[in-house]
Amino acid sequence: MLQGLTFDFLKRLAKGISQQFGNNCEVVVHDLSNNFTESSIVIIENGHVTSRKAGDGPSLVVLEALHGDHSKLKDHLNYLTKTRDGKILKSSTIYIRDEKNDVVGIFSINYDITGLLMIENSLKPLIATEPDTKEPERIAQNVNDLLDELIEQSVQLVGKPVALMNKDDKIKAIQFLNNTGAFLITKSGDKVSKYFGISKYTLYSYIDAK
């Protein structure tokens, strides 16, 4: 667990940033030092922005950090995310590393720009910029929401509903889930197996399929 001076500094930094930018600015610290837990959030300021609190579970970026090669992870700054209730956030993700360069935590800033976007939309006829067509990433409120979101993305990737999927389609969807770290979530295998109408044995064979 993040301890001592590091934890104290991150707690003071989170509070300072949140107060500097006001109630629309959420600051979150995820502790990854014990690998995956379903209560990765150890520090949060202005949690009302995403309806989360200390002790809540991981986001997609946390799963990516745990599942991926730490040496290839790079800080992700100034990108769009979306909450379950439709708020649009401007987010930044900064990886916290130990002396061995392993990722032991994540420092995230999520600024609610929903109101500002409404103002921007009223000014669009007066400004000459190209629209950003990239869909914002959704911030899950809990691990169940996160798994549902990843399953939805896997279906979108295949491009057809489960009822019309053949074996190859299901392999593609399940390997996507594996690559995003979905199976790090407790009991995710049961839910995914049931969703795709396959056995746990078949699920594991699809994960290993080449």
- In the chain, % of residues over pLDDT 70: 91
pTM (two decimals): 0.69
DSSP 8-state secondary structure symbol assigned to residue 35: S
Q: 167 pLDDT band (50/70/90 cuts)?
A: very high
- 122-139 b/e (C-beta count within 10 Å ≥ 16 → b): eeeeeeeeeeeeeebbbb
Of 63-67, 116-120, 190-194, minimum mean pLDDT range: 63-67
Nearest C-alpha neighbor of 101 from the set 76, 69, 77: 69
> What phi and psi values does residue 178 have, to the nearest 5 degrees?
-65, -40
E strand spans, the chain: 25-31, 41-45, 76-82, 88-97, 103-112, 137-138
Name beta bridge partners: 28: 44, 108
Please tell me the distance from the alpha carbon of residue 115 to that of residue 88, in angstroms, as a whole number: 9
CATH superfamily for domain 4-122+126-137: PAS domain (3.30.450.20)
**Which pLDDT score is estimated for 63?**
84
Rg (CA), the chain: 19
CB neighbour list of residue 20: distance below 8 Å, 6 or more residues apart: none
Nearest C-alpha neighbor of 112 from the set 178, 26, 4: 26
**Which pLDDT score is estimated for 45?**
98
At 134, list the tokens. Answer: 């990239």
Q: 52 pLDDT band (50/70/90 cuts)?
A: very high
